[in-house]
Amino acid sequence: MAESVRGYPVPGFGVWPPERGARREGKLLRLKVPRAAHAEFEPPTDRPSVVAAVEAANTGRLPELVPIRVGRMAASPFAFLRGSAGLMACDLAATPTTGLTTQLCGDAHAANFGLYGDSRGRLAIDINDFDETVTGPWEWDLKRLAASLVLAGRQAGADEASCRRAAADAAAAYRRTVRLLARMPAQDAWHATPDGDLVAFADAHELTEVLRPVAAKALHNTSAKFAAKSTVRTEDGRWRFTASPPVLREVTDGQATAVAAALAGYRDTVPEDLHPLLARYHVQDVAFRVVGTGSVGTRSYVVLLLDRRDEPLVLQVKEARPSVLLPHLARAGYPLHAPVAHEGRRVVLGQQRMQVVSDPLMGWTTVDGLPYQVRQFRNRKGSVDPAALLPGQLDDYGRLTGALLARAHTHTADAAVLAGYCGRGEALDEAVAAFAVAYADRTEADHAELLAAIRSGRLAAETGV
């Protein structure tokens, strides 16, 4: 119901309870789902086999690229987790949830956080992958992050105590951050910037030496650098991408024309004040580029645009498939989502809802009847490999990513209610860590099953790509 002023309704504004009332509401949720209950994990009885899950996830992908996807998942248990968001959602659907919903990343594993540039080239650090974004239970993102930290730590050679501590500290940082944000004025909490100050708040000081070279490299990770490495000037004076199969390859004239033509529809999804900027570029070439782990096999293009000085802007036009979380949210008893008008729009809006600073040129379009998201390619992106961190650094990285996840969730969930539920003590931290260790064990078994399927010839895999 909307508020009113002197009897006049104010549409679009909600009725938010006072902070103490919201915290009390969160505390009452502990009666429904004790925080210790989040330690529970038992694979559902109708859980598909690993082969069935991988084959289902590969449906609709380009068949010639599927072996690359399987090969990347086979690299390690952590890599398997990165490519199996749908299988984990199936497992999470059987775990306890409070019923509080938020905009989910949907794939909040430890490698999906990183640096990127804002419109003025300054670096921010935040979640940076939203292919699976949808509204759902906040616990799912937090548990996926925690389990991924355990697997990354094991891959790096950390002992079990360090891996478990990283998962617990991610949950602790999440808990402390929602409490901090709940105490802040609404606008201050909304615009809390994920920058270097967050490193200090999260007590992630050992990451400073890791982040410094990553940031220095990210500042030079631009369209111009990618274009200089991946394009050549032809005899007719045009710039063309140079093929580097299978990651970067040429497309037919028909494909290039379809992608270029779709940019007109994309422009209409970008804020109008940026239309004059886009008008200063013209399309030079289009190529196909293989990306990611979970995304391998989906259609993804890079488009080279130049301004009048031949300075490049590279856009990524990436197929947007329905979130793999959707069928499992329904199984978990969450309300069915209304049909999505455009999957690219879902991804873009989800990203904008979770980030403080987003790529201003994000948008969406349709190519040959399929939905795509569009964004800048290589806009000063940088990332930390969590599987290469020292034990002390992994712990700090857990705290940093936990804090970032909390800030992102509180854009669409009431921080005071979350804070009331999470509380001051370590009950939630220990429960999430216990789940993370159990789920890491399950993922290692799944990875072994994948390797067996590859050895038997049931699944084709191409490694080293």
Q: Does the predicted TM-score (pTM) go above 0.85?
A: yes
Query: What per-residue confidence (pLDDT) applies to 8?
Result: 61
State the helix-helix crossing angle for 66-73 and 50-58, rounded to 10 degrees.
140
Q: What pLDDT, on the 0 to 100 scale, is given for residue 118?
A: 81
Confidence (pLDDT) at 210: 82
Quick one: pLDDT at residue 10? Answer: 64
pLDDT at 16: 66
User: Tell me, what's the pLDDT at 442?
Assistant: 98
Could you write out the DSSP letters of every residue in 191-202? Answer: T---SHHHHHHT
d(CA 371, CA 367): 7
Q: Reduce the DSSP state of residue 232 to 3 states and report it.
A: strand
- Contact (CB, 8 A) for 136 and 329: yes
Chunked mean pLDDT (size 10), the chain, 465 residues: 55 68 94 97 95 96 94 97 97 96 97 87 88 97 98 97 97 94 88 62 70 86 91 91 93 97 97 96 96 85 95 96 94 81 96 93 97 93 92 91 95 95 97 98 98 97 83
pLDDT of 220: 87
Identify the CA nearest to 181 among candidates 430, 425, 396, 405: 405
Q: Supply 346's token pair.
A: 């879902």
Which residues, 6 or more positions from 123, have their beta carbon under 8 angstroms from its beta carbon? 115, 116, 117, 195, 215, 218, 219, 380, 382
Per-residue H/E/C for 329-391: HHHCCCCCCCCCCCHHHHHHHHHHHHCCCCCCCCEEEEECCEEEEEEECCCCCECCCHHHCCH
Tell me how long the chain is. 465
The pLDDT, as a whole number, for residue 291 is 85
